[in-house]
Structure 1
């Protein structure tokens, strides 16, 4: 997978994986929830300052999930071209 691939570039395979792979659907949804929570906390500077460590942990978890999501997408792309 190219480093510039985005969710949009892979929307068909993501939709397929969300339907057939419950683990993928779970981690994809968790990633989306973390993204939303982080964005909300980033908008509130008072809350952000008091929860900075928690936000950093959330960002690390989100990045880990993103890596796992892309590994699954890559594996399925290779499998579909075999």
Structure 2
């Protein structure tokens, strides 16, 4: 098994799993962004796990996009968490 962490939204925000699921089903923008985030995380972890040759620039671009999406998704989670509290 790999030591590369899985950065799924459910793993990174375990207290918000139900809200994440709700947002994925009710908010098309959140769902699209979450799907893109999942795909980027899969790509990044795949490159890290298999040591597939890629340029440092490409690898950093993927990681930065993943981080940017996570920040946006977290802001949406936090905003909706406040509404449901």
TM bucket, shorter chain: 0.7 to 0.9
Matches within 5 A, 1:32-47: 32-45=38-51, 47=53
Q: Give 1:13's aligned residue.
A: 19
- What is the aligned residue count? 75
| 3-state DSSP of counterpart to 2:12 | coil
Aligned-residue CA RMSD in angstroms? Answer: 1.6
Alpha-carbon distance in 1 for matches of 2:77, 2:49: 31
Q: Which runs of 5+ in 1 are unaligned?
A: none
* From 74, 79, 85, the counterpart of 1:75: 79
Alignment of 1:55 with 2:59, yes or no, is yes
Q: Which runs of 5+ in 2 are unaligned?
A: 1-10
Which structure dedicates a bigger proportion of its chain to helix? 1
Structure with the greater alpha carbon radius of gyration = 1
Q: Give 2:4's aligned residue.
A: none
Q: Which runs of 4+ in 1 moved over 4 A?
A: none
